[in-house]
Amino acid sequence: MSQSKTAPSERTRVRRLHERGSYDAASVYGVLDAMPLCHVGYIVDGKPHVTPTLQWREGDHVYWHGSAASRFLRAARGMHACLTVTMWDGMVMARSGFHHSANYRSCMVFGEVEMVEDAAHKTNRLEAMFDVWFPGRWDVLRPINAKELKATTVLRLPLNEASVKIRTGPPGDDEEDYALPIWAGVVPLSTATDEPVDDPRNLPGMTPPDHVRNFRVGRKV
């Protein structure tokens, strides 16, 4: 995916409020890297299905994983899918109901699903997932075994057909409404990361490592 601004495809083109849309790599990467939670939409047996899962980005691909027993994931190979990530940054309170809105950052990725099947490649991708979210944790874990690897499906989409849409700032009221005695503004929202909670079966003296304490989502990158 080019780092410069690229032309959208017919599927990714932002048609309503197009000035909020971006198609460059930096914008796409920024949203994907800020929020692990995504939703993936598929058509299975002629019916739509949307599943929440966790995603991570490596270069110009976005990855997600799930159970090898999932019929959706088994059917996904070669299927066209849509992966979306959204962060809600604020409730926009206007002077009319029509102009109430939300501040948000969203990314939409379209493409043909590729399945990672080689065992070594799959292991490397799962390690990369941990390196994205919890740098250094993979190295201290009990190694993944063959049974666990077989039970895990890893899929990916290329990022050559993606768009970002972002809204920021105050409400945009009709000019005559600014004279009305009505409070307007933004109620900021964020995803908070609280203090880690110990597993009651931790061995004595165990404390959360830095890669746990430093974990954050929703950050602006």
* HEC assignment per residue over 141-186: CCCCCHHHHHCEEEEEEECCCEEEEEECCCCCCCHHHHHCCCCCEE
pTM of the model: 0.88
| Mean pLDDT on 15-34 | 79
CATH architecture observed for domain 18-171? Roll (2.30)
Report d(CA 96, CA 34) in Å as an integer.
32
Contact (CB, 8 A) for 27 and 33:
no
Please check the confidence at residue 114 and state whether its pLDDT lies above 90: yes
- In Å, what is the CA distance from 15 to each residue of 27, 92, 169? 18, 21, 20
Report d(CA 106, CA 88) in Å as an integer.
9
Query: What is the DSSP pairing of strand 101-112 with strand 21-22?
Result: unpaired
Q: What is the per-residue pLDDT for 54?
A: 95
Q: Per-residue confidence at 4, pLDDT binned at 50, 70, 90? A: very low
List, for residues 37-87, the tens digit of each pLDDT value: 999 998 888 889 899 999 999 999 999 998 887 877 777 778 899 999 999
Q: Per-residue confidence at 221, pLDDT binned at 50, 70, 90? A: very low
Per-domain residue ranges for the chain?
18-171
